[in-house]
Every structure is written in structure tokens, then in C-alpha cells.
Amino acid sequence: MAASRANPARRDPPWIAGGLIGIALLYLAVVLLLPLFTVFFEALRRGVEPFLEGIAEPDAIAAMQLTLLVAAIAVPLNAVFGIAAAWAVTKFEFWGKSALITLIDLPFSISPVISGLVYVLLYGAHGWFGPALDALGIKVIFTVTGIVLATTLVTLPFVARELTPLMQSQGSDEEAAAATLGAGPWRTFFLVTLPNIKWALMYGVLLCTARAMGEFGAVAVVSGHIRGKTATMPLHVEILYNEYSFVAAFAVASLLALFALVTLAVKTFLEAQFADELAAQRTR
């Protein structure tokens, strides 16, 4: 089985090839597959009924709805931002451009907990704007608003970083041609630019959605963990786990894991179909 692909100059001794494949398989099995398997195993440990109870419980349903709501707000926001930012940095030259590109990627280097913390510092009870907003009757921290803010910050770079390298390599010739043919900016965008970037956009949106639905640290800081109110699915998992309701915790977790598998399948499909159109950087 350890056939090196064809070329004699690249052929490794069979024991090395076999050994390396063995190490890689073992590592992948222990590090990746075992945790995945365990989620489903623990969820179904006591049979199907407790599993179904875990996911049908009103608080679990509320958590699912909240998770979807948060993603439905944060993802489109970041998609529009990603397009605007990629447009600005790829079609134009301006002072501070490379600094801007670095800043857009910055949230990847910030701990999720810090991403939550900063909003508490701004809008919490002792935050810069907290008391003022409170006087107006607006609450941010421990509400859905806070969860949306934190999620948006954590997932901010996903779409932009997929679009930027692609639009960089595509250049502006087609848009310029459209403009010489008399097309207005919106027409040019929808008929020329968007079709060229649609798969990369979808790819970015997919990764952004996966992260938005699964985000834990940032959301944990701003949500207040109010069951059935401000607990997203990952937070609901934590609450159940801390109450020692393991089966229910793993049941909800298995739904998230299932969603992760779907994400991987769609991701793999997009990569196989549109390899050229997706940006080379697939590391996030």
C-alpha cells in the first residue's frame, strides 16, 4: 500500500514510507478521529431516548435558535465587510494599505476571551459607555447584542482573507473593460466582479459561519450564561456539562459535531471543484 507515487527519484524505502504512513495514521486517529468519535459515542451511550431528550429540551431549542440568529447577523455583516475591504485593498493603492491588511487579520491573533473582554470594557456595567447606554435603557453585555458583537470580532477576517488574494490575482482589467463599455459601478460589481469571486466568497462565508456557530470563549465572557436566554449551543453544552448532565451535553455537542462534518464536506467539495478560484491560503 505504501506506493510512492511513481517516480524512482522520489521513491522512499518501503519501510520508511510504511513507517511514516503508520505514524501519520496513528496521530490523525488519536488527535482528530478519537475526539470526534467520542462525541457521538458519549451522546448515544445510554441509547437514543436520552439523546433525543437532550436535544429536544426547550432550553436546547432556544440555544439552537440563538446560535442561528447570531450567525445570521454576524456572517452577513462580515461578508459585506470582507467584500468592501478586499475591494479597497486590491483595486486601489493608498498610504497605509499593507498596515490595513495586517490589521484585518489581527483578530486571528487575539484570544477569544480578549475579544469578549474588550466589549465588557466598553459596554459593561463599569465600561466606558455602559452606564450611559444603561440610562437610555440599552443593555449590551449579558444580552444577544453583546454575543453578536463578540462573535463578529472573532470572525471578522474570514471573508476578507479569502477574497483579498483572489481579487489581487484577478486585477482590475475586467472592471475597467466594463467601465469603458458604459457599465455603472453597481452593474459592474454584480455582473463582473461578483461572478468572479463567488466561490471564494462562499468558501469564506462557510468558514465564517462554522466559527460563528461554534465560538465559545468570546461569547462566554459577554453572555452571562442565562439558560434559555443568552446561552448559545456551545454555552449550553458547557452549562449541561457543569451540571453533570453528560449525555445531554454530548447530545447537543453531537449536533455541533455533525454540523462540523457538513462544513468539512462542503469545504472539501468547494476546494475540489474550484481549486483555482479559491485563494491559496487555506490555513484558517
Partner 1 sequence: MPGFWPALGFTLVYLSFFLFLPLAALALRPWEAGLDHVWGVISHPRTVAALKLSFGAAFVAACINAVFGTIVAWVLVRYEFPGRRLLDAFVDLPFALPTAVAGISLAAIYAPNGIIGSLFAPFDIQIAFTPFGVMIALIFVGFPFVVRSIQPVLEDLEVEVEEAAATLGATRLRTILTVVAPAITPALIAGFSLAFARAVGEYGSVIFIAGNLPNVSEIAPLLIVIRLEEFDYAGAAAVGLVMLMVSLLILLVLNVVQTRVASRGRA
Partner 2 sequence: MSLAISDISKSYGRFPALKTVSLFAEDGEFLALLGPSGSGKTTLLRVIAGLETADAGSVQFRDENLLAKPVRERGIGFVFQHYALFRHMTAAQNIAFGMRSKPRRERAPEAQIKAKVEELLALVQLDGLGKRYPSQLSGGQRQRVALARALAIEPKILLLDEPFGALDAKVRRELRRWLRDLHERTGLTTIFVTHDQEEALELADRVALLKDGALEQVGTPEELYHEPASAFVFDFLGDSIKMPCTIEGGIAIIAGAGVPIVGNRVLENGLATAFARPDAFTITTGDAPGIAARVRNVLLAGPDARIDCGLEGGGALEVRLDHEQAAKLSPRDKITLLPRTVRVWPAS
Measured CA to CA, the distance from residue 29 to residue 18 in angstroms comes to: 16
With CB under 5 to 8 Å by kind, the binding choice for 261 among partner 2, partner 1, none is partner 1
Residues numbered 223-242 forming contacts with partner 1, rule: CB under 8 A: 233-235, 237-238, 241
Q: Does the footprint of partner 1 cover residue 215 (CB under 8 A)?
A: yes
When binding is defined by CB under 8 A, the residue of 62, 70, 79, 117 that contacts partner 1 is 117
Task: Collect all residues with Cβ–Cβ distance below 8 Å to 73 and sequence separation of at least 6.
Answer: 148, 152
Please state, in angstroms and rounded to a whole number, the distance separating the CA atoms of residues 39 and 7: 42
How many angstroms separate the CA atoms of 210 and 179, rounded? 37
Closer to partner 1 by Cβ: residue 92 or 136: 92
Residues in contact with partner 2 by CB under 8 A are 7-9
Nearer to partner 1, 199 or 221 (CB): 221
Q: Which of 9, 48, 99, 135 binds partner 1 (CB under 8 A)?
A: 9
Rg over CA atoms, the chain: 23
For the record, the C-alpha cell of 22 comes out as 503508520
- The CA distance from 17 to 15, in Å, is 6
If one asks whether residue 42 binds partner 1 (CB under 8 A), the answer comes out as yes
DSSP 8-state code for residue 278: S
Report d(CA 162, CA 52) in Å as an integer. Answer: 38
Q: Based on CB atoms, which residue is closest to partner 1, 27 or 132?
A: 27
- Per-position x/- string for 133-172, each x denoting binding to partner 1 as judged by CB under 8 A, each - no binding: ----------------x--xx--x---------------x
* 275 is a contact residue toward partner 1 (CB under 8 A): no
